[in-house]
Amino acid sequence: MDAIVKKQLKIKACNVRMGIIEGVYNAKSGHPGGSLSIADVLTYLYFHRMNVDPKNPKWEERDRLVLSKGHVAPALYSVLAQKGYFPVETLKTLRKSDSILQGHPSMKMTPGVDMSSGSLGQGLSVAAGMALGAKIGGKAFRTYAILGDGEIEEGQIWEAAMYASAKGLDNLVAVVDNNNLQIDGSIADVNSPYPIPEKFKAFGWNVIEIVAHSFDEIDAAFQAAAEFKGKPTAIIAKSIKGKGVSFMENDYTWHGAAPNTEQYELAMRELYAELAELEA
Amino acid sequence: MADIIKTATRDAYGKALVELGSVNEKVLVLDADLAAATKTGMFKKAFPERFFDTGIAEANMICIAAGLSTEGYIVFASSFAMFAAGRAFEQVRNSLGYPHLNVKIGATHAGISVGEDGASHQCCEDIALMRTIPGMVIINPADDIESRAAVFAAAEHDGPVYLRFGRLALPRIYDENYKFEIGKAVKLREGTDVTIIATGLMVNEALIARDNLSEIGISAAVLNIHTIKPIDREAVIQAAKETGAIVTAEEHSVIGGLGGAVAEVICESVPVPVLRVGVEDVFGRSGPAVEMLHIYGLDAATITEKAKNAVAMK
């Protein structure tokens, strides 16, 4: 990937992370850990890969994204705000009773959200439906589903995985945010879905493994997925839960907890320092 | 003459889908490996390119239907009531109901008249489940004519609809000129002493009960409520005011279905006696469909008895 583009994406991702912290801090609840782990992939998708128009969120030809791990809505909202779907200031209203930003995504309330989600395990089926619809209608748009590694413990994910490959939905890409942690602890300890790549391969998918925080690897994976014909692609993205905020990294207790004022200020200081370094 | 033509509402559903598919290219049909039984197989034969079998995975089917509907398709997703409303309840609630997507659930083999398959397949809870989802429309047709009309009306309606069909062949109630409107009850017979409010296959039983009652000097009105949600509140209230007693009749649990819906309206507006005919909070069992209906009291005789009791309570 071009060095200037990469730098711009890194700056964007840093701003996205600030929006996540801002939202969760003001809401006094939410899911920062998994939001931070998927922030780079979502930033890449909306700023470099997906064909979307913030001025026309319902544009029929747009690429679709289903945030199946809907609890990381703060990450999606922050990306959508950066992209111009609504003001960045709106992020501070996250989870408030008169906000357009629900605790989990609502396609009826937030511009840019392609599908309501939040109940784990359903989004890959919905994305498969969208991809199938594109095939039926001869449309060129592509559909992306963002899954959690804990989420794939849900059986419906594998119903959808079976279906998508049986129907050859090569316009569908699933990303598994493999941060290795779920609410109750390590996914290996709770109810291990490992080995993940082998499972998707066995279900007939094209599988690519990457580091979720390397824009070079992210870019190469999505480019390869776009060129791959005949099968859907699963990108298994090894990530760090809480990535970008030192005290949240690799700590499952930050799955669904908001920072207090002191922690918020510390997190923002770290992110501002990173931003200053990137912009230097 | 009315009972010469007998058709299962699932057959009428299959035929209506083909008819609808031929005039509306946006109609897609999904099934979960039960196309021969739900009768969506007819659509599959007529429009194979618009039919999708998701295999034995009902939760997946409901969510695929949701995804397809976001692109402007009118999607009919079919399975047995037990699996469409029961197994996939949470998918229907969160992936169809919450985003109010334009998917029509064609649920067949509803109720105790599934017969020999027994309790695991006799779904008497589906109306109760679907009623609790905001914005869901629930239609339980009484014959083949009403089934066809319901399919076309559902396609015109923007939002999720639960269509409830049965396996047992039923006598025709209506003629070809029948005008169907979602949410509008149909007064089939006038009466002064009691109103029998029925839905689905119990509509015909209500008409028989009405004749039985008239022989013993009780004048019963008969109201067909094909749309259980949104319920026709005005028609229910008017029935209570005019006759002062109500008997409901449905092939569903007495909990949460038509009887529950009617009782809620009556209690809050014109309190009069409401007695419910339905499955009395028990599981069914294997046996011939018609026998099952009699064993569980889903027949004209039970409606007649309850109507007498309701009149006595006035």
Nearest to B64 among A118, A129, A139 (CB): A129
pLDDT score of B4 more than 90 = no
Q: Which of B171, B203, B224 is the endpoint of a domain?
A: B171
Helix H or strand E segment including A211: strand A206-211
pLDDT of A95 reads: 97
Got the DSSP string for B99-130?
A: TT--EEEEEESBSGGGGGG-TTT-B-SHHHHH
Note whether B252 and B297 are same-domain residues.
yes
Structure tokens at B239: 């029935």
Task: State pLDDT tens for residues A211-247.
Answer: 999 999 999 999 999 999 999 999 999 999 999 999 9
Which residues in chain B are contacts of A131 at CB distance < 8 A? 67
Mean of pLDDT values over B104-116: 97
Mean of pLDDT values over A1-11: 96
Where do we find the tokens 């089939």?
A: B188
Query: Given pLDDT bands bounded at 50, 70 and 90, which one contains residue B231?
Result: very high
| B279, β-bridge pairs | B253
CA angle B11, B58, A127 (to 5 degrees): 120
Question: Is residue B180 included in any domain, yes or no?
Answer: no
Note whether B201 and B141 are same-domain residues.
no
CATH of the domain at B150: 3.40.50.970
Note whether B167 and B190 are same-domain residues.
no
Q: Which of B117, B141, B171 is the endpoint of a domain?
A: B171
Query: Given pLDDT bands bounded at 50, 70 and 90, which one contains residue B206?
Result: very high
Taking Cα atoms as reference points, which of B278, B258, B256, B274 lies closest to residue B266?
Answer: B274
| A177, β-bridge pairs | A148, A237
Mean of pLDDT values over B276-285: 98
Taking Cα atoms as reference points, which of A149, A151, A184 lies closest to residue A255?
Answer: A184
User: Cβ–Cβ of B98/A127 closer than 8 Å?
Assistant: no
Task: State pLDDT tens for residues A88-143.
Answer: 999 999 999 999 999 999 999 999 999 999 999 999 999 999 999 999 999 999 99
pLDDT of B1 reads: 46
Nearest to B52 among A115, A125, A132 (CB): A132
User: Cβ–Cβ of A125/B63 closer than 8 Å?
Assistant: yes
Note whether B202 and B150 are same-domain residues.
no
Give the C-alpha separation, B52 to A133, whole Å.
11
Domain count, chain B: 2
Mean of pLDDT values over B98-111: 98
Taking Cα atoms as reference points, which of B200, B188, B172 lies closest to residue B293?
Answer: B200
Where do we find the tokens 């279906």?
A: A163
Query: B273 preceded by cis ω (within 30°)?
Result: no
CATH of the domain at A142: 3.40.50.970
Q: How do beta strands B74-80 and B27-31 pair? A: parallel
Note whether B167 and B200 are same-domain residues.
no
Query: Is B99 in the A-facing interface, judged by CB distances under 8 Å?
Result: yes
- Sort residue A3 into left (φ over 0), alpha (ψ -120 to 50) or beta: alpha
pLDDT of B5 reads: 78
Give residues 55 to 74 of B whose Cβ lies within 8 Å of A. Answer: 55, 57, 59-60, 62-73
pLDDT score of A204 more than 50 = yes
pLDDT of A128 reads: 98
What percent of chain B is predicted at pLDDT more than 70?
A: 99
Note whether B132 and B195 are same-domain residues.
no
Q: How do beta strands A181-182 and A185-186 pair? A: antiparallel
Note whether B162 and B201 are same-domain residues.
no
Question: Is residue B176 included in any domain, yes or no?
Answer: no
User: Cβ–Cβ of A125/B67 closer than 8 Å?
Assistant: yes
Domain count, chain A: 1
Q: Which domain holds residue A237?
A: 3-279
pLDDT score of B119 more than 50 = yes
Note whether B86 and B31 are same-domain residues.
yes
Q: A228 phi and psi, to 5 degrees?
A: -80, 130
pLDDT score of B254 more than 60 = yes
Query: Is B79 in the A-facing interface, judged by CB distances under 8 Å?
Result: no
Structure tokens at A217: 């690897």
Structure tokens at B164: 């409830």
pLDDT of A28 reads: 96
Nearest to A156 among B50, B60, B100 (CB): B60
Instruction: Strands of chain B (E only): list them.
Output: 6-8, 27-31, 51-53, 74-80, 103-108, 137-139, 161-164, 169-171, 186-189, 194-198, 220-224, 227-229, 246-253, 274-279
User: Cβ–Cβ of B64/A114 closer than 8 Å?
Assistant: no
Task: State pLDDT tens for residues A26-83.
Answer: 999 999 999 999 999 999 999 999 999 999 999 999 999 999 999 999 999 999 999 9
Q: Which domain holds residue B100?
A: 6-171
**Does B58 qualify as catalytic in the annotation?**
yes
Q: A67 phi and psi, to 5 degrees?
A: -85, 85
Question: Is residue B179 included in any domain, yes or no?
Answer: no
Note whether B167 and B191 are same-domain residues.
no
Query: Is B34 in the A-facing interface, judged by CB distances under 8 Å?
Result: no
CA A119 from centre of chain: 15
Note whether B147 and B222 are same-domain residues.
no
pLDDT score of B3 more than 80 = no
Give the C-alpha separation, A74 to A68, whole Å.
13
Q: Which of B171, B201, B218 is the endpoint of a domain?
A: B171
Nearest to A126 among B54, B73, B95 (CB): B95
ipTM of the complex in this document: 0.96
Question: Is residue B87 included in any domain, yes or no?
Answer: yes
Quick check: helix, strand or coil at residue B287? Answer: coil
Which residues in chain B are contacts of A125 at CB distance < 8 A? 59-60, 62-64, 66-67, 91, 95
Helix H or strand E segment including B32: none
Annotated catalytic residue: which of B19, B25, B58, B305? B58
Question: Is residue B242 included in any domain, yes or no?
Answer: yes
Which residues in chain A are contacts of B55 at CB distance < 8 A? 159, 162-163, 166
pLDDT of B2 reads: 47
CA angle B67, B71, B74 (to 5 degrees): 85
Query: Is B94 in the A-facing interface, judged by CB distances under 8 Å?
Result: yes
